[in-house]
């Protein structure tokens, strides 16, 4: 039963992740560095919804669980095609993602080594200020 739940959650995440494209990765979020807004590492986070994702490096991906909830996830070692994948999945146990879970990229399962919450409110405020200063100048 537990295995069935994990498979169902993973499939749901993969289907939701299909909505993201490489074009989105190169959008407005790319102007700001997520690591600058990431807090101290945490052990786990609740993931009852999957609102999107953005790859930010060879070993890092941002997972959004709501409008103002996002987490910078670092994977262990080499994760093939992470930067170029059109879909992504994240395993979870009972709605919790921890460092024992995996980021799924195609057929590869990449172990999570670090989870850091991102201050999305501050990041969005800085982004708006940056746009405002570009438009004013």
- The string of pLDDT tens digits covering residues 39-97 is 999 999 999 999 999 999 889 999 999 989 999 999 998 898 899 999 999 999 999 99
Domain that holds residue 59: 2-136
Instruction: Report how far apart, in Å, the C-alpha atoms of 3 and of each of 10, 79, 95, 117 are.
Output: 11, 23, 13, 27
This prediction has a pTM of 0.77
Q: What is the domain count for the chain?
A: 1
134: nearest Cα among 33, 28, 35, 54: 28
């Amino acid at each position: 039963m537990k295995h069935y739940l994990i498979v169902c959650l993973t499939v749901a995440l993969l289907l939701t992740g299909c909505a993201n494209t490489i074009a989105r990765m190169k959008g407005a979020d790319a102007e700001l560095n997520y690591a600058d807004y990431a807090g101290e590492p945490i052990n786990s986070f609740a993931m009852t919804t999957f609102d999107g994702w953005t790859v930010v490096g060879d070993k890092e991906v941002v997972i959004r669980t709501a409008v103002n909830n996002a987490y910078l996830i670092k994977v262990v070692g080499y994760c093939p095609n992470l930067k170029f994948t059109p879909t992504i999945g994240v395993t979870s146990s009972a709605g919790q993602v921890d460092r024992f879970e995996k980021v799924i990229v195609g057929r590869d399962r990449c172990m999570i080594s670090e989870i850091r919450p991102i201050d999305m409110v501050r990041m969005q405020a800085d982004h708006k200020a940056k746009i405002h200063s570009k438009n004013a100048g």
